Structure 1
Amino acid sequence: MSYWYPSYEKTSPIAVKNGIKAKSKRGAIGDKWWSKRFISALERMGNAARLQRGRSYARKGQVISLLIQNGCVESKVQGSRRSPYSVSIRLRSFTESEWTRIFDTMASEALYSAQLLAGEVPAEIEEIVGKTGFSLFPDSHKDITTACSCPDWENPCKHIAAAYYLLAERFDNDPFLIFQLRGKTKDEVLAALRSRRKKVSDEHPTQASTGSPAGGSDPLSRSGEGEAAATGLGRTVGAKAGAAVTADRFWKNEGEPAEIAFSITDGLEAEFAALQLCGEAPFTIRGADPVDILLPVYPAARKRAYEMAIGSMLSEEDAYSEEECDDGNNMSGDHI
């Protein structure tokens, strides 16, 4: 018995004007652990040669559109034919009972819950979800369903692969996207965690106020670590030592405010964090990328914020030399 496989003439794709291009020009695509984890999962399951051609498509700008709605990725990718191909990518959504198990397990980890509620997705989250028996990222072909209107019988074809790589870069800007593709939006995830953490607070007020159960130690209570560290806020020495924080006392002034220490995170990743969160702009300004226009503004704004924090004006050189000093009086906070 013989099998017949269709063969296709090797052709070059039609160039796309203003196509979506991968930010990475060479090497691996994806900067953060979650985007790299997504790509590594796909590379384990996929055809390496096809994925490589898809990466080339992504860098050339052959992807016309990439939309994520209702947990499904819809994309248009220009190939060698006049009409672009339609690509769809969908991860298996967890059932409500599966989500309940996942949320319960996530909420049981105080430190990681604090990080998530602060908008951060810790690398340990995959291990935490794994305790429930599920994988946050796809680990088999059963976890992901794809389709492309091209005549290629291989899966993934280069058009699907191109969408994969651009989707991975979206993870860099929005780590909660993996939850959305699994069936829950960021708001739904955070609401589920808040309700569960509130339940712990209501049922165990001592544990909630001190951050540790009787006889135990909770990471949220150790030396200003925990939620303060996870949110990037420096610890403030509050009112009275040992006083429980309750809802009816939270907004009351109980004496002179404590001195707030601070630090400023350096490095380009921190300096341009807001732009990275915005992602790729869907428009240009007189042919220029808005990011390129805004880039020079950030160092100036960062310097001014530092001046406001220390209460004096600095030269440009002084502003950066001050950040390099480690005198123990540091504040970490939201990046400009």
Structure 2
Amino acid sequence: MTRLLLAILATAVAILLPAGPAFAHAGDTTSVSHYRVAVTGLSAPLDGLSVRVVEGGARLELSNTSGRTIEILGYSGEPHLEVRPDGTWENVNSPATYVNQTRTGGTAVPPAANPTSAPAWRRVSDDTTVRWHDQRTQWNEAPWTGDRPHRLREWVVPLRDQVRTFDIQGTLDYQPPPRAWAWWTGAAVLGAAVTLLTTRWPRSAGPVAVAAGLTTLGYVVAGALDGGGWAGVPIVAGLLACAAAYRPPPFYLTLAGFVLAAFAGFGSADVFFAAVVPSAGPGWFARLAVATAIGAGAGLALTGILRLRAAVPSPPPAPIPA
């Protein structure tokens, strides 16, 4: 068990330390929303050129292995990004370079940035895949509300291949929020059920912890497939829960359950309140994973606490006075 705990600790350090700076900016991109962005295709398909939506709709991702130079045009038709066979370049004279810094509107555009100026290219990556915010795909007006889906608009982002222009085509839809109360209720019921199950059948704690840990790790993988990167803290929480299969002492069970509920569960509970989540696959899986982490984690932590109390020896009876 000591070796197992050391291995998990080493894994946590290896995951969290390199990822620290990247996660400091994650809130800008991998957030939940009520607006579903979808790419429907290219107006003129090109072999080796593909586009998809990533990070819960926050960015577009263009991959260019065609061997040709593809320009992504800005809001006035000026060159904004250029994906060449040797990497990606950014036009510092394009206002879109500054507007697209964040999902909600970017930074102030300097006076020197003018769409009529000659492009001034700055290399930003050696990769032929680029991600960027694009305000044409976002809903930046008054928040839409309602209990029914609604098509807000269709959008296009223009591209250029030498003198030929074509478009990325897509849609923007409003999606009503899920019933958050139902997911909170499910998490509470699961917590009570796990506590009762693991108290009545102590050996069931291991399989329950493994199931909850694997569900959390599956949610992490789904987030990575959506382009959000590898979430280090939920990975550690999932691994800690899976390690409970080795019949750990009550303190470890308490710790694993608390970390799972707090960091993989409550830390991601915003998925209960929005229809679009930064995760590949259906939104219900993300909500199920978070509800499982909350309910099973809390149940395992409570079971560990009860076992710790049961392990404390009772004080000797007070002597009877003569």
Q: TM-score band, normalised by the shorter chain?
A: under 0.3
Q: Flag the structure with more relative contact order, 1 or 2, with Cα contacts below 8 A and sequence separation at least 6.
A: 2
Write 1 or 2 for the structure with the bigger share of strand: 2
